[in-house]
Amino acid sequence: MISSHYKQLQRFALFCFLVCILFSVSSSLAESHETAKITAFKLILSETEISVSKGKSTSVSASVEGASAKDKVTFVWSTENKSIATVKAGKIRGVAAGNTNIICIATLSDNTVLSATCNVTVYNPVNSIKGPGSQITLHVNEKTTPEIKVLPNDATNKSYHFESSDESIVSVNGSILHGVAPGKAKITAFSDDGSNKKTTFNVFVPTLKADFSEIHVTELDERPMKAIKYYGKDPYKDLTISLSNLSIADFGMYDSYDHNYVYTKYNNQLEFELAIFKAGTAKVTINDKSSPGSKLTFNVIVEHSAVYDTVSFPKIQYKDVMRYPDEYEGQNVSFTGHVLQVMFGDTYTEYRISSRGRYDDVVYVRMLNDTYNQTILEDDNVVVYGKYKGRHTYTSTMGAQVTVLFIEGIYAELRY
């Protein structure tokens, strides 16, 4: 009896155990099916990152991967920062420069909820580009970065790049222009932010170039040698040169081989030597007829210290120097008079000169024979420039001691 009852209990316990196992397996299968059903759906956005200009709009579309035609899907759009960007039904509008996220939430008919985000960058676009003017000048082998204004000032991306109409005249490397050869090229500056703004200007490359703006002459007997760059074809035919005052200076192209004033071109260079006449300023203008616009202008400034005149060599009066000789000792002086006597020697030529043509105010002048002068003869009227060396005493043909003023001459010129 007891044994039979025990067996019945065992059978009931086994039945309950099997029921529990079946229930557990069924629950697991149901849960796995539900999980599979949820993870089978995925919200897809057409863009996960997008840029839009301030005040402009762009669109992002959404779809649910795994959903069938029977599944009803509702999309809700929102923005994390509406002061930067707003969104409505996937249409995004830029409000102000900055960065934010657009959020899309999809709800399926079985209450499955999915979400995805799109990062939005709103930029302040370029509305205009201004160049340096209608034309700039750039010399051969020189580089420049023209001033370009990108507006507005708070544009997000103000970068730009250049394009040249003729790279053989002006080449481009980013924002740097390089002069290659004489001529003219049109340069276009393009904005890099996608706004397609641009500006154009011309770059003129001349045939002439000088590394100086003036020639300043300060030393006596100075004959400045200068060189200019010339990238033209024929200086003899094409160049014209003018000076505003030929009484101050003159020049020509200097040939170092023949020592003549000629146009000489080598290594794209022309050399010239100045001849100085008197103190003052003369304007030099050089034009290339074959290249309109190729022009050089510079001043030649000649100081009194560089010429023989009464400013750098003050004029003396015979009696003043005889009365106050110490005040003139070693000073630059000039003396105007009539030549009474000329005595030629191997090294020096000596002159006796009187301001009045008489022998009571004679000045003794001694000059080296290789001094650059006109030939001075007796009875000539001259101006002598030099240093006052004091008094000079000599014995006359009559045996008398004669004391006169002594000038060590540097330069003399005839007076007609």
The domain locations on the chain are: 42-123, 128-205, 208-306, 318-414
Q: How confident is the model at residue 78 (pLDDT cuts 50, 70, 90)?
A: very high
* Res 325 pLDDT > 80: yes
pLDDT of the residue at 22? 52
Longest CA–CA span in the chain (Å) reads 191
Domain 42-123, second-level architecture? Sandwich (2.60)
The pLDDT value given to residue 35: 44
* Total Cβ atoms within 10 A of residue 87: 21
**pLDDT recorded at residue 267:** 78
Do you find a cis peptide bond into 152, omega within 30 degrees of 0? yes
Task: Considering only residues 14 and 99, tell me which one the structure prediction assigns the higher pLDDT.
Answer: 99
394 pLDDT more than 90: no
**Res. 11 pLDDT band, cuts 50 70 90:** low
* Average pLDDT, rounded, for the chain: 87
* Res 10: pLDDT: 60
128-205 adopts what CATH topology?
Immunoglobulin-like (2.60.40)
Q: Please write the tens of the pLDDT for every residue from 201-212.
A: 999 999 999 999
What's the average model confidence in pLDDT over 345-349? 92
Percent of the chain at pLDDT > 90 equals 65
At 106, the pLDDT band (50, 70, 90 cuts) reads very high
Give the C-alpha separation, 351 to 355, whole Å: 13
Share of the chain above pLDDT 70, in %: 87
The CATH number that domain 208-306 falls under is 2.60.40.3450
The answer to whether residue 264 scores a pLDDT higher than 90 is: no
What pLDDT does residue 25 have? 43
CB 169 within 8 A of CB 205: yes
As a whole number, mean pLDDT of residues 106-116 equals 92
Decide if pLDDT at 222 tops 90.
no
Residue 172: pLDDT band (50, 70, 90) is very high
Q: How confident is the model at residue 401 (pLDDT cuts 50, 70, 90)?
A: confident
Alpha-carbon span 296 to 213, nearest angstrom: 9
Residue 138 confidence (pLDDT) above 70: yes
The yes-or-no verdict on residue 260 having pLDDT over 50 is: no
Residues pairing with 269 in the sheet: 229, 266
Confidence at residue 34, expressed as pLDDT on a 0 to 100 scale: 46
**Model pLDDT, residue 186:** 98
Q: Identify the residue with better confidence: 18 or 151.
A: 151
Q: Residue 136, SS3?
A: strand
Q: Is 384 exposed, middle or buried (0-12, 13-18, 19+ CB in 10 A)?
A: buried
Place of tokens 């300023």: 281
Q: Could you tell me which CATH number the domain at 318-414 has?
A: 2.40.50.140
Q: Is the pLDDT of residue 331 over 60?
A: yes
Q: Token digits for 105? A: 């939430």
Residue 371's pLDDT band (boundaries 50, 70, 90)?
Answer: confident
Q: Are both 128-205 and 208-306 of the same fold? A: yes
Report residue 242's pLDDT band, with 50, 70 and 90 as the boundaries: confident
> For residues 259 and 238, which has the higher predicted lDDT (pLDDT)?
238
Within 238-346, strands assigned E span 239-243, 249-255, 260-261, 265-266, 269-276, 280-288, 295-302, 332-344
Instruction: Report pLDDT digits (tens) over 16-73.
Output: 555 455 555 455 544 444 444 444 799 999 999 999 999 999 999 999 998 887 888 9
Which pLDDT does position 8 carry in this prediction? 62
Query: Using 50, 70 and 90 to split pLDDT, how confident is the model at 393?
Result: confident
pLDDT (mean) for 102-125: 94
Spatial separation of the C-alpha atoms in residues 52 and 125, rounded to whole Å: 9
